[in-house]
Amino acid sequence: MKLFSRNKETSDPAVIIQNSLTAVANRISDSLEDDGYHWNKPWGVKRFESLVLAKFMMDYSFNGIAEDKLKDDEKIAFVILCSSSFSKLFNDEFSEIGLNFEDMQEELQQKIDAYFDARRESKPPQCWHNIYQLVTRSKSKEELEDDLKKKTAGLELIKGNENFSGIVPQYESQIRMLKEKAGAFGSAEMMLPHMVRFTKDKLRAINLKKVKALSKKLAKKDKGKKK
C-alpha cells in the first residue's frame, strides 16, 4: 500500500509543483552566491530575489511546456497550485522577519511581470541581461562598459603624473571591479537559460491531462459559487 501511496504522491501535480519550485529557488540561490557575480548583498536579499525569479521560471517554463497542448483556461490549475506553493515557501522563509506574501503580493507580481516583459521585449542574450539587471538592480552592461572606458581613460591621464600617483591603485581597483561586474552579464546569459532548462526538466513530470481535468473541476466549482 505504501508503494501505491508514494506513486500517487509523486504523480500529484501539487507535489511536483511544490518540489520543483523549491529546487529551482535553491539552484538560483546557489548560482547567485558565486563570487563571479560580485553581487554584494546580504543572503536574505539574494534569497528574496531568488524566490521571485524562481516563480517567474516556473510560470515561463510551464507556458513553454503547455504551449499548443493546453488552452489558457486549462492552465488555471497550474496557476493556482504554483501561486499557493510560492506563497507558502515565501511565508515559511520570510514571515519571521515581518515579510508576508499577502502584504507583498502586488509588489511580487509586478517584479514577475517585469521579468516577462524583459523576456518578451528583447531577444537573447539581451533579454537575459535585462532580467539579470532587474534581479540585481545593477547598472546595465552598457553603462558599466561606458564607466570602464571613462575610468581607463582617466587612468592613462594620471599614470604619468607624480601628483596623482597616490590614486593610481584606487583607479586600477575600480577598473578591475567594473570589468568583473560587466563580465557577470556573460555569466548571467548562460545561467538564466540553464535555469529555464532545469525548470522545464522538473515540470515535465506533470501529467498535463491531470492539470486540464483539475482546471475544469475548479472552473465548475467557481461557476457553482456564482449561482
∠ CA(24), CA(2), CA(209), 5° rounding?
A: 55
At 163 the pLDDT is 81
pTM of the model: 0.91
At 138 the pLDDT is 94
At 1 the pLDDT is 44
Cβ neighbours of residue 185 under 8 Å, at least 6 residues apart?
129, 132, 133, 141
Tens-digit pLDDT string for the chain (227 aa): 444 445 555 789 999 999 999 999 999 999 999 988 989 899 999 999 999 999 999 999 999 999 999 999 999 999 999 999 999 999 999 999 999 999 999 999 999 999 999 999 999 999 999 999 999 999 999 999 999 999 999 998 888 777 888 889 999 999 999 999 999 999 999 999 999 999 999 999 999 999 999 999 999 887 666 55
CB 38 within 8 A of CB 180: yes
At 3 the pLDDT is 47
CA dihedral sign, ordered 80, 82, 88, 93: negative
At 4 the pLDDT is 47
At 2 the pLDDT is 47
Backbone angles phi, psi at 124, to 5 degrees: -60, 145
